[in-house]
Amino acid sequence: MIKKIFYSLIILLSLAGCQVEEATVLPTRISLQIPTETATATPSPTLTSTPTLTITPSVTASPTITNTPTPDPDVPTRPPVTRTPTTPPTSTPPPVIQVTPFATSTPFAPDPPQDQPEIFIIPPADDGSAPAAQPLTLPPAFYYGRSAEGRELFARRVGNGTRVIMLVGGIHGGFEANTVDLVNQLIAHFEANPAQISPAISLVMIPNANPDGYARGNVLFGRYNGNGVDLNRNWDCGWEPVAYFGQQTVNPGPLPFSEPESQALAALINDVRPSAVLFYHSAANGVFAGDCGGDGRSQVLAQVVGAAAGYPFGSPFVAYPVSGTAPSWVDSLNIAAVDVELNSATLPEFDRNLRAVQALQCWVASEGAQLSC
């Protein structure tokens, strides 16, 4: 009996041992442990790429493609409206004309439109001044410097003649924004009608000589540059440490030509040596000649421009004392220069000033030649 119990116990123990051994080698258990260990031990690119691939298709497929066209029917209409003023004007309207609408909404045109001719920057020479530039070598569009706040100073050349007429707007920025509009419109007109430029003439047009002030809009502070200086009191002929606009004093700068805008424009004028320079202002209604020991041609220029445009001319500006003005310094170089004061503080008065530029072309082209206008 004891033997039977003994053998029965041995048999039971051996059967129990076999069952434990089979359980440890179950393939299911091994396969479950392998992915768990690999997932924890190696969070490698395989595991990260899998969730990304599954999520991406579902997101892109639905919100981006389906939602945009359906709820908003205006979207297809919008691009044509926005792009029409910006892209097409390669043939007729010049690039600078697009500076005007841009500057009206966001008062600064930092970069001219992309569809215009290539723009070159005239680099300074080793001595810090700009290199001499002849009319025929000036590019059609170029930067001649930067403002106090770092905005580009932009100029446009139209025509291929050897005698230069320079037209400058916006020296008083947004306070006289209609002068920027005027020069932009003149650029647009001559780009569209190149036959109206005499073969002897190149027009160099600067729509905005004070982009910092222009960015501030049509307020008194918009008259000055980024340093708070009145740029038409900052030139080195008759400069005074105390300057005026009406009955109030304005900042003429610590010294003549202290401002980068005045320096850059003076360097360009000195290098190009134009036959005549017109600085547009508003709204004193008259043409006022630069007077700083020049050869007398500024007085003749005032008569030519005033008679053609219908502005009063021939008398000095006496409403209040002015000092350190741009036309006076230019006159000191024996280059004819005037301030053209529009009659309106808001309108560009394009037609009358176009007549003046046409008469001016005839006067400049006929100097030293027997030409009838």
**pTM over cut 0.75:** no
Q: What is the C-alpha separation between 181 and 281, in angstroms, rounded?
A: 11
124 and 37 both lie in a single domain? no
What's the pLDDT at 103?
31
259 and 168 both lie in a single domain? yes
206 and 63 both lie in a single domain? no
Q: Is 102 domain-assigned?
A: yes
Residue linked to tokens 């969070």: 43
10 and 127 both lie in a single domain? no
Q: Is 244 domain-assigned?
A: yes
Q: What is the C-alpha separation between 265 and 123, in angstroms, rounded?
A: 14
- Phi, psi for residue 316 in degrees, rounded to 5: -70, 165
DSSP state of 16: H
Ranges assigned E (strand) in the chain: 119-121, 141-146, 152-158, 163-168, 201-206, 243-245, 248-250, 276-282, 286-289, 336-342
Range of the domain at 31: 2-67
Helix, strand, coil abundance in the chain, percent, nearest 5: 45, 15, 40
How far, rounded to the nearest angstrom, does the alpha carbon of residue 132 sit from its chain's CA centroid? 24
Percent of the chain at pLDDT exceeding 90: 61
What's the pLDDT at 123?
45
Q: Is 313 domain-assigned?
A: yes
DSSP state of 283: S
What's the pLDDT at 353?
98
Give the chain's domain count: 2
61 and 175 both lie in a single domain? no
192 and 53 both lie in a single domain? no
Q: Which residues of the chain have pLDDT under 70?
A: 1-136, 368-373
Express each pLDDT in 171-210 by its tens digit.
999 999 999 999 999 999 999 999 999 999 999 999 999 9
What's the pLDDT at 168?
98
Express each pLDDT in 49-59 by its tens digit.
333 333 333 33
